Amino acid sequence: MPELPEVETTLRGITPYVKGQKVVAVHIRQPKLRWPVPSELHELEGQVVDSLQRRAKYLLMHTLKGTVIIHLGMSGSLRICDHDTAPGKHDHVDIVLANSHLLRLQDPRRFGSVLWTQQINRHPLLCALGPEPLHEAFNARYLYEKSRSRKVTIKTFIMNAHVVVGVGNIYASESLFMAGINPKTIAGRLSMARYEKLVFAIKTVLSLAIEQGGTTLRDFVSAEGQTGYFQLALSVYGRTGKPCQQCQKPIRQITQGQRSTYYCTSCQT
């Protein structure tokens, strides 16, 4: 599934082509995605895209009339194509722009979504989300206070979108390794000092991943059709049994909340 860095990479890739452009047509070939693509999406036609934004793993296209909410699901991607580019089997939605380009959603598994709203600040998918991990509002004091009396593991805690958005499975494992924190530690037992290390690690790991274009493990490609490269820098994720890059002990894999967790039993305490 595309994570925050992949979605941010997509946002940066499509923005130069889409921002400030008038939408001349919307083509919905397959409305049966994770949620049905609403017919109201055609209200986008004739509107100018004023701005684009990422909120958590959602891409938002703002116009004077309303906002398009796009989620890439498990295997979705957004591509910039020329008007005359023939659609493929899994190309479900086109947003045709006045500049001879179109924005195309490709989604083989159809777990993505394209929605339309005129009340973006009250939309149920967005209104209860936690702070962005790269914003100032996400800091050690916030996370420490949020964790008090919480009995869930720290990995589960930081992957909760009501606590902080965008820290997916890959980046949670990598951040906990950088901070030297065992993923099985109970969130409410961590000290302020350890939360300072963890917040620094989360911001660092996500920033590096964005710089390198995200992490390609299966299907992710950017708006230009390029794969991400952060997978080359992974320290623990997917490295079961391989030597830790710090102490040489084998990386261990466990399951937490039906997700694989990777960590070093020596370096993470």
The dotted CATH code for 4-122 is: 3.20.190.10
Model confidence over 255-266: pLDDT tens digits? Answer: 998 999 999 999
For the cut 70, the answer to whether the pLDDT of residue 178 exceeds it is: yes
The amino acid occupying position 114 is V
User: Would residue 57 show up in a list of annotated catalytic residues for this protein?
Assistant: yes
Question: Which segment of 20-24, 47-51, 57-61, 73-77 scores lowest on mean pLDDT?
Answer: 73-77
Q: How many Cα neighbours within 13 Å face the side chain of 215?
A: 23
- The third-level CATH classification (topology) of the domain covering 140-263 is Helicase, Ruva Protein; domain 3 (1.10.8)
CA of residue 230 relative to chain centroid, distance: 14
H-helix segments, the chain: 4-18, 140-147, 154-158, 169-179, 192-211
Q: Share the mean pLDDT of the chain.
A: 92
For the chain, domain boundaries: 4-122, 140-263
* Contact between residue 252 and residue 240 where contact means Cβ atoms under 8 Å apart: yes
Cα–Cα distance measured from residue 2 to residue 192, given in angstroms and rounded to the nearest whole number: 31
Q: Is 157 helix (H, G, I), strand (E, B) or coil?
A: helix
Beta pairing, strands 77-82 & 67-71: unpaired
Residue 102: exposed, middle, or buried by beta-carbon count in 10 A (0-12, 13-18, 19+)?
Answer: buried
User: Would residue 3 show up in a list of annotated catalytic residues for this protein?
Assistant: yes
**Catalytic one of 54, 57, 104, 197:** 57
Question: Which segment of 114-123, 132-141, 206-215 scores lowest on mean pLDDT?
Answer: 206-215
Name residues whose C-beta falls within 8 Å of residue 193's C-beta, 6 or more positions apart in sequence. Answer: none
User: Would residue 45 show up in a list of annotated catalytic residues for this protein?
Assistant: no
For the cut 90, the answer to whether the pLDDT of residue 236 exceeds it is: yes
Neighbours of 209 (CB within 10 A): 26
* Contact between residue 265 and residue 236 where contact means Cβ atoms under 8 Å apart: no
Model confidence over 120-144: pLDDT tens digits? Answer: 999 999 999 999 999 999 999 999 9
Q: State the distance between the two ends of the chain, measured CA to CA, in whole angstroms.
A: 29
Model confidence over 95-108: pLDDT tens digits? Answer: 999 999 999 999 99
226 closest CA partner among 238, 236, 215, 241: 215
**Would you state the pLDDT for residue 214?**
56
Q: State the pLDDT confidence band at 19, using cuts at 50, 70 and 90.
A: very high
Cα–Cα distance measured from residue 67 to residue 44, given in angstroms and rounded to the nearest whole number: 8
Model confidence over 152-166: pLDDT tens digits? Answer: 999 999 999 999 999
Tokens of 46: 């004739």
Place of tokens 């008090």: 148
Question: Which segment of 191-195, 215-219, 224-228 scores lowest on mean pLDDT?
Answer: 215-219
The amino acid occupying position 258 is Q
